Amino acid sequence: MNIVIVGAGLAGAKAVEELREQGYDGDVTLIGAELHTPYERPPLSKGLLLGTEEPDKPFVHEASWYSHHGVELLTGDPVTGIDLDRGSVSVGDRRIGYDRLLLATGAQPRRLPMADESGLPVSYLRTLEDSLALKERLSGRLLVIGAGWIGLEVASAVRNAGGEVTVVELADLPLATVLGKEIGASFAELHREHGVDLRLGTSVDSIDGSTVRLSDGHEVTPDLVLVGIGAGPDDGLAASAGLPTDNGVLVDARLRAEDPHVFAAGDVANHDHPSLGRIRVEHWDNAIQQGKHAARAMLGDDAEYDRQPYFFTDQYDLGMEYVGHVGRDGYDDVVIRGDLTGSRVFSALWIKGGRVVAGMHANDWDAIDHVRAVVGTDATDRVRDPSVPLADLTA
């Protein structure tokens, strides 16, 4: 059997690793559009950007690992087409056949044409080169458009480097769609305490030369504009091949696409989760775990991928871990244990329909196992009582 993996990122690298660990000794071809060997993306807005990690830290394996494990690694030459009938992919003038195909093409930043066409220096943070170039500009004046995870982590890095930063966010609070208004307000206060000019309920109205006018009438003259308004799945290749896509490649609970020989994992996979329904997750842990699961599925494992989403962030002296998923319908209640505004050592559990659908902790590094254990359980009176310690809920 010949396995081809399109997308040499974290999901693709972990799939290759799992194939070999499962004892598969057949042909494996890993194809990536970037020149680099596979690397992780969280350091791009965290340790690498802050200067606490070296540029070689994000790489999943040394370059020699792939040849030592019999993996044909093709980088810098993207796949241009998939022929589902023939079971092959096209790379340049080469056609590579497959028995199983894994799509791990990731996501691409959403563009902001107004910024791109303005003549100002504009950055999007997605690649290693993006991060290294941005690192050189952190001590200047930055305008960050979008107060999502990327925008706020970059703002933290700017302030750490002594730069000035204005963050513009259309919503009334940062991260509110994920964390709700209570925790979103805490993050807003955190950034303002560290000197970020955080302008909520605001957008970019116009750009004239070096001056950016905001919808609240404020004007900014940044050295660099960082656009962080989200990302979309890189599913064009799959769609062109005739695979069903809708905000990603549609896959079943096993991560298998409509074509039974094709699978998808990571940012590009719109997954039919057994308990959460259709969901596409753009986080580090999901790329790792779905990459491994897809590898086992391609080898015949029928298990469903039922892991709860997990992500983390580091901003200033706040570290956070989150498990679960608050859907589009939101939540009924949130139970907060701890201090949101002083020490910022706290946990939160989100409840919907009598169940705990998500949980997080901030600066409480013994809490994550308890959070993970509570998510998905019934929201009992003890769960709803903030005077009951989180650890006691799982005792």
- Residue whose tokens read 């259709």: 278
Last residue of a domain, one of 227, 244, 264: 227
In a domain, 309, yes or no: no
Could you give the angle at the alpha carbon of 39 between the alpha carbons of 35 and 40, nearest 5°? 145
Average pLDDT, the chain: 95
In a domain, 324, yes or no: yes
Cα Rg of the chain, angstroms: 22
In a domain, 307, yes or no: no
Last residue of a domain, one of 183, 203, 227: 227
Q: Taking phi first (over 0 means left), then psi (-120 to 50 degrees means alpha), and beta for anything else, what does residue 89 get?
A: beta
Query: Which helix (DSSP H) or strand (DSSP E) does residue 131 occupy?
Result: helix 128-135
Sheet-wide strand order for 224-227: 122-123, 224-227, 141-145, 164-169, 197-200
pLDDT of residue 52: 87
Answer yes or no: is pLDDT of 23 > 90.
yes
Distance CA(144)–CA(71), nearest Å, equals 40
CA atoms within 13 A on the CB side of 255: 36
In a domain, 72, yes or no: yes
Tens of pLDDT, residues 298-335: 999 999 999 999 999 999 999 999 999 998 888 999 99
In a domain, 306, yes or no: no
Do 103 and 128 sit in the same domain of this protein?
A: no
Answer yes or no: is pLDDT of 395 > 80.
no
Tens of pLDDT, residues 276-291: 999 999 999 999 999 9
Asked if residue 320 lies in contact with residue 311, where contact means CB atoms within 8 angstroms, the answer is no
Do 121 and 174 sit in the same domain of this protein?
A: yes
Tens of pLDDT, residues 193-252: 999 999 999 999 999 999 999 999 999 999 999 999 999 999 999 999 999 999 999 999
In a domain, 222, yes or no: yes
Counting residues of the chain whose pLDDT is more than 90, the rounded percentage is: 92
Domain total for the chain?
Answer: 3
The CATH number assigned to the domain holding 357 equals: 3.30.390.30
Do 28 and 76 sit in the same domain of this protein?
A: yes
pLDDT band at 162 (very low <50, low <70, confident <90, very high): very high
Do 211 and 165 sit in the same domain of this protein?
A: yes
Last residue of a domain, one of 227, 244, 276: 227
Do 166 and 69 sit in the same domain of this protein?
A: no
- For residue 261, give its domain range: 2-108+231-298
In a domain, 308, yes or no: no
Do 339 and 195 sit in the same domain of this protein?
A: no
pTM equals 0.95
Do 101 and 115 sit in the same domain of this protein?
A: no
pLDDT of residue 221: 97
Q: Bridge partners of 319? A: 314
Do 248 and 104 sit in the same domain of this protein?
A: yes
The CATH number assigned to the domain holding 25 equals: 3.50.50.60
pLDDT of residue 57: 87
Tens of pLDDT, residues 251-274: 999 999 999 999 999 999 999 999
Do 91 and 28 sit in the same domain of this protein?
A: yes
Do 130 and 221 sit in the same domain of this protein?
A: yes
Mean pLDDT of 75-84: 96
Do 92 and 120 sit in the same domain of this protein?
A: no
